[in-house]
Amino acid sequence: MNEQSQIGTGKGLHVAIIMDGNGRWAKERGRPRLFGHHAGAKRAREVVEACPDLGVTHITLFAFSTENWKRTQAEVAGLMSLFRRYINKTAHELNDEGACVRFIGDPHERIREDHLRILRYYRFQARFGSALDEAAEDACAELAPTMKGLSRERVAMELLAILALPDPAPTIARMRARGVLPVILPEAGSSQIAALERLIESEARFGMQGDPITRLAALIPAVDGVADNVAARLRLSRRHRDLLGCLARRQPTDSEAAKALAYAEGSECAVGRLILEGHDPRPLDGWDVPDLPLKGGQIVARGLAGPDVSKALREVEARWIAEDFPGRSRVLELLDAVLAERD
């Protein structure tokens, strides 16, 4: 009886694989060690995909040990990069095909190796897990204060990755209940969690893909200065900091003039502010924010000078916006009207 037929007779088999020898395999072929690790990852997926047909319901991959930290910095960095890509892409695909991905090991020990694993646990559990791991949940809650020693950029990266999930609201609520969220985002209270839930409902209703910065805006009070403090603490990029601040200035009346809002604040912010307030942002789909088809020189040619030029330009612009951005011929008519009122 061959090996495959022997495996196929089992029911609910659990196979464990130690992913060893990939680097040596590559060196024997004159290739870099990382080439072997990539080949091993590809073969691991082939094995996982073959398991259901062979009666194997569980497979454990031992991919990295404490001894592996002794390898060269370049090889360790390459392995970590490979793990990230595998988890973020391949594991997602396998999960979509019905596989349940679980990370094993003593949770306290794993977290003490890298405290960022607290946030990664919640991201992976939300994306892959079907049942909660109580031991891991308890360890995350117990060691949550240790995240204060992490670089703020790493914390922001993981928090935004959680917020980019299809529906992060239950995970965010659980993080708050277990005392994890208050360590990194103390501004998020029960009303902010509810705002995030409403935002995700609006995204689904309007067919919009969730944006992590917009979801972050839902998790902080729309109060002057709060967005700036959060952006500084998380060390967000300049673009994300400006966007978060703009979203925090949202008003219930934003939907009354959506295009005017997009003209003043930019389309990205306008869409976010509309959907945060539960309004349909789709009227802005495909609408390019226009430039006022009028220059100061044209006003100077009509006899104005100095501060009067900029004042007239602002008056024309205000009327142009109020009339929903008409074309150049109408703008010239508006200029005529503004100049006539000055006579």
Give me the count of residues in the chain: 343
SS3 content of the chain, % helix, strand, coil (to 5): 65, 5, 30
Q: Is the dihedral of CA 301, 302, 308, 309 positive or negative?
A: negative
How many Å separate Cα 187 from the centre of its chain?
19
Distance between CA atoms of 273 and 271, rounded to whole angstroms?
6
Give the SS3 label for residue 222. coil
Task: Copy the structure tokens of residue 305.
Answer: 């000078």
DSSP 32-52: -HHHHHHHHHHHHHHHHHHGG
Give me the DSSP letters along 75-142. Answer: HHHHHHHHHHHIIIIIHHHHHHTT------S-HHHHHHH-TTHHHHHHHHHHHH-SS--HHHHHHHHH
Q: Give the separation between CA 194 and CA 201, rounded to whole angstroms.
A: 11
Residue 7 CA, chain-centre distance (Å), reads 42
288 is catalytic: no
Whether the Cβ atoms of residue 13 and residue 55 lie closer than 8 Å to each other: yes
At residue 60, the 3 state secondary structure works out as strand
Strand partners, 58: 14
Residue with tokens 């939907």, as numbered in its chain: 255
Report the distance separating Cα 107 and Cα 286, nearest Å. Answer: 48
307 SS3 class = helix
Residue 174 near residue 194 (C-beta atoms within 8 A): no
Give the SS3 label for residue 74: helix
Q: Which of 20, 106, 138, 336 is catalytic?
A: 20
Q: Half-sphere exposure (CA, 13 Å, Cβ side) for 234?
A: 25
Q: Is 20 one of the annotated active-site residues of the chain? A: yes
The residue from 53, 68, 138, 228 that is catalytic is 68
What residues are labeled active site? Answer: 20, 68
